[in-house]
Every structure is written in structure tokens, then in C-alpha cells.
Amino acid sequence: MPEREDHTIRVTLTAEDYTGFNLYHGRWQLAGLFAFYWCLFVIFAKWSGVLGDSANLAVVIPAAFVISGVMLAFQLWRIRARTAKLFASDKVSKLEQHIALTDGGIRHTTGETTVNVPWDDVFKVGEFSKAIVIYLARNKVIMLPKRDVGGDLGEVRAALRRHLPGGKLKLKA
């Protein structure tokens, strides 16, 4: 019996795709880092004696937010720069990929290599503003940028819902 193909997507990844994924994947760590920087600055202000009276608190709290924001902006810049450097050195990531969602699983072709992943082997599926991410393991993904999916985004979501249990899906709409 021939296998039905729900949808085939041609994907060409960019450094921005990788950066978006890294920022999405690390969003809670970045939020925690901001809170850590803020607490560190307030503790330093208290330890150094800047918080001598309550009037100084009105200056220290906003200053802590500004300094934490600047330090977080630096971390975001580092992530973008590091991701761009890694992407530039990875020749395989720049190849056009063909991803077919079939009854039997996901057929992922890059260059001359084709990998068939059964639906049972999909760890989970997530979606953020610019892509759908199919996790094959915690650190191995197939990324489907929404610009490459185009107007068929609803069909891709429907195919994923048809083949995967709800507990593995974190899709919008």
C-alpha cells in the first residue's frame, strides 16, 4: 500500500533561524539571568552601603533594572554573534532540506542523505513566532521556518495533530 504524503516543505535555513531558535529555547534562562543580575546589583548596593536609607532605594531599584537590561542586551548580542559564527562554519545547515510529513513519519532529506523518522520517535513539537520545531530528541531538531511553510501552515499543524498525541504538541491555534 503506498504511503500517503501529507505535506512536503522545502526549507533553507538562515543564521536568523538558528538565532531565533536559540533565543526561543533559552528564553526562561534569559529571564532568570535578568533576575539574577538585578538581585546581584541590589545585593552589591546593600553590601557597599549605597542603601544607607530608604531614599536611596528609589534610585537603586530603577538603576538595577537598567544595568540588568544592559547586561542582558550584551548576552543577547553574544548569542547572536556566536550563532552567526557557528552557522557560517556549518555547510550542511545551508543546504536545501526537503521535509515530508507522511503517514509513516517524517522523511527528512538534506543533499544526498534521507532519514525516515517514525512518528513514535518524535520527542515533541513546539511553535514560536517564526518556526515550528520538531524535536527528535532534546538536542536534535527539524526546524520548519514559517516563511518556507507559507500558506500551508494550517495543513502542517493539522498533519502534526493527526499523527502525534496532544501531549507532544505545543502548537498555536
DSSP 3-state of 30: helix
Whole-number Å distance between alpha carbons of 134 and 122 = 7
Query: In which residue are the cell numbers 502548537 written?
Result: 171
DSSP 3-state of 129: coil
pLDDT attached to residue 26: 83
Whole-number Å distance between alpha carbons of 6 and 162 = 10
Q: Domains in the chain, start-ordered, CATH in brackets?
A: 5-13+92-170 (2.30.29.30), 16-89 (no CATH)
From residue 169, alpha-carbon distances to 44, 73, 80, 102, 111 in Å are: 43, 31, 27, 17, 29
| Strand order through the sheet with 124-128 | 140-145, 131-137, 124-128, 169-170
pLDDT tens sequence across 9-33 = 999 888 888 888 888 878 888 999 9
Neighbouring CB atoms inside 10 A of 139's CB total 8
pLDDT attached to residue 3: 52
pTM of the model: 0.74
pLDDT tens sequence across 102-147 = 999 999 999 889 999 999 999 999 998 889 999 998 788 899 999 9
